[in-house]
């Protein structure tokens, strides 16, 4: 499954729609400290914004700026008219309360979709709300390849708030039967082997081996693991590619889709802002 190709299509569509707005959408990206991986992610987001006709507002705070300074910046951005989406690059350095930071973002600008209100709306299926970017990217890929989820057994490995849990919920909304596995699951292979659609979001290279996958299954690899100077997923790609009906590569699968969905959410934030009569 080619995430790069689909992400490009999404960006083209977003660009067309941003051009129809009275003003370009604005995305504020806040980074605290100079974590090298975060620097790369933030730079990628800036490039994506440029491609989509979105203005990116970068805010780099020193690692020791402190929680109060960060919260004050978010309050200011919540009120700033040309900023439609706000994103805080995670993880935050030690000493910050990420939960309090996320809850400080106005739900109307919550393009990462991590706010409790956004999550609550997602779980209740009572939108319109933003959808978390990674699971939304996975669903977009499954749709693109016309994989019907109704009645299928989907096994999600990982139960984080940003991937596993919302992923399970979104699959339920597509009428799948969902199993969510995690670090305390006993006999993981006995669960994964039942999956028509297997989604791994753990962060352990080589976790999903060929004996854990039913022949013909759809395999989605969310994991990102740096091994030396290479990036691997959670899934043992080469052997499983031979037996799976569909599989996402790492890199080039879910990663670009996550970024594309952020652009889509930022467009939606701006569209909603102008719809409210601003
Ligand atoms: P996390 O650390 O918050 O959660 C990991 C989950 O895996 C936990 O629920 C844990 O219980 C479970 N787990 C740990 N060991 C396990 C095991 N042996 N068997 C079964 N479950 C196990 O991580 P996260 O933020 O959800 O991210 C997961 C992975 O996905 C990471 O590699 C991350 O880099 C990657 N990620 C990728 C994208 C993308 O766009 N491709 C986006 C977000 C996260």
> Is 112 known to be catalytic?
yes
Note the pLDDT tens digit of each residue in 75-119. Answer: 999 999 999 999 999 999 999 999 999 999 999 999 999 999 999
| E strands present in the chain | 26-32, 55-61, 85-88, 153-157, 177-181, 197-200, 218-221, 225-227, 230-232, 246-247
> Is 45 known to be catalytic?
yes
pLDDT of residue 189: 98
List pocket residues of ligand 1, CB cut-off 6 Å. 134, 157-160, 162-164, 181-183, 185, 188, 201-204, 207, 222-225, 254-255, 258
Is residue 134's pLDDT more than 90? yes
DSSP string over 82-135: T--EEEE-SSPPTT--HHHHHHHS-GGG-TT--SHHHHHHHHHT--S----HHH
The atom number, within ligand 1, closest to the CA of 185 reads 20
Q: Could you say which of 89, 221, 234, 264 is catalytic?
A: 89
Of 158, 188, 206, the one to substitute when testing ligand 1's pocket (max ligand atoms within 8 A of C-beta) is: 158
pLDDT of residue 115: 97
Of 87, 185, 192, 203, the one to substitute when testing ligand 1's pocket (max ligand atoms within 8 A of C-beta) is: 203
Q: Could you say which of 31, 109, 110, 112 is catalytic?
A: 112
Note the pLDDT tens digit of each residue in 152-174. Answer: 999 999 999 999 999 999 999 99
Note the pLDDT tens digit of each residue in 212-248. Answer: 999 999 999 999 999 999 999 999 999 999 999 999 9
Is residue 139's pLDDT more than 90? yes
Note the pLDDT tens digit of each residue in 176-203. Answer: 999 999 999 999 999 999 999 999 999 9
- Using 50, 70 and 90 to split pLDDT, how confident is the model at 128? confident
Structure tokens at 196: 């028509």
* Cα separation, 191 vs 171, whole angstroms: 17
pLDDT of residue 190: 98
- Using 50, 70 and 90 to split pLDDT, how confident is the model at 5? very high
Note the pLDDT tens digit of each residue in 23-80. Answer: 999 999 999 999 998 999 999 999 999 999 999 999 999 999 999 999 999 999 999 9
The Å distance, Cα 203 to ligand 1 centre, comes to 5
Mean pLDDT across the stretch 241-267?
98
Looking at ligand 1, which residue's alpha carbon is closest to its atom 22?
183
- Measured CA distances, 175 to 36, 57, 149, 168, 217 (Å): 40, 39, 6, 11, 17
> Is 31 known to be catalytic?
no
pLDDT of residue 50: 98
- Using 50, 70 and 90 to split pLDDT, how confident is the model at 260? very high
The Å distance, Cα 183 to ligand 1 centre, comes to 10
Q: Are 122 and 132 in contact (CB under 8 A)?
A: yes
CB atoms under 10 Å from CB of 9, counted, come to 12
Q: Is the dihedral of CA 192, 196, 202, 207 positive or negative?
A: positive
- DSSP state letter for 30: E
pLDDT of residue 127: 79
No. of helices (H) and no. of strands (E), the chain: 10, 10
Nearest CA to 222 out of 254, 258, 189 is that of 254
């Amino acid at each position: 499954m080619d995430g790069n190709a689909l992400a490009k299509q999404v960006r083209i569509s977003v660009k067309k729609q941003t051009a129809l707005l009275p003003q370009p959408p604005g995305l504020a990206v806040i980074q605290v400290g100079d974590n090298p991986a975060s620097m790369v992610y933030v730079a990628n987001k800036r490039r994506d914004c440029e491609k989509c006709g979105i203005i990116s507002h970068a805010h780099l705070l020193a690692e020791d700026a402190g929680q109060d300074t960060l919260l004050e910046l978010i309050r200011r951005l919540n009120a700033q008219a040309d900023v439609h989406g706000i994103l805080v690059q995670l993880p935050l350095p030690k000493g910050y309360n990420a939960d309090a930071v996320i809850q400080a973002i106005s739900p109307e600008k919550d393009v990462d979709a991590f706010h409790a209100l956004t999550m609550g709306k997602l779980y209740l299926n009572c939108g319109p709300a933003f959808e978390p970017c990674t699971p939304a990217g996975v669903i977009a890929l499954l749709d693109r390849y016309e994989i019907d989820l109704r009645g299928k057994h989907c096994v999600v490995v990982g139960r984080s708030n940003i991937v596993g849990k919302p992923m399970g919920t979104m699959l339920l909304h597509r009428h799948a039967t969902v199993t969510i596995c995690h670090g305390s699951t006993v006999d993981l292979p006995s669960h994964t082997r039942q999956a028509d659609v297997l989604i791994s979001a753990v962060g352990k290279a080589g976790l999903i081996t060929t004996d854990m996958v039913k022949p013909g299954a759809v395999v989605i690899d969310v994991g990102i693991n740096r091994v030396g100077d290479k990036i691997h997923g959670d899934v043992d790609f080469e052997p499983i590619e031979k037996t799976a009906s569909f599989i996402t590569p790492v890199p080039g699968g879910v990663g670009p889709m996550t970024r594309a969905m952020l652009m889509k959410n930022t467009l939606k934030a701006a569209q909603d802002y102008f719809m409210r009569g601003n």
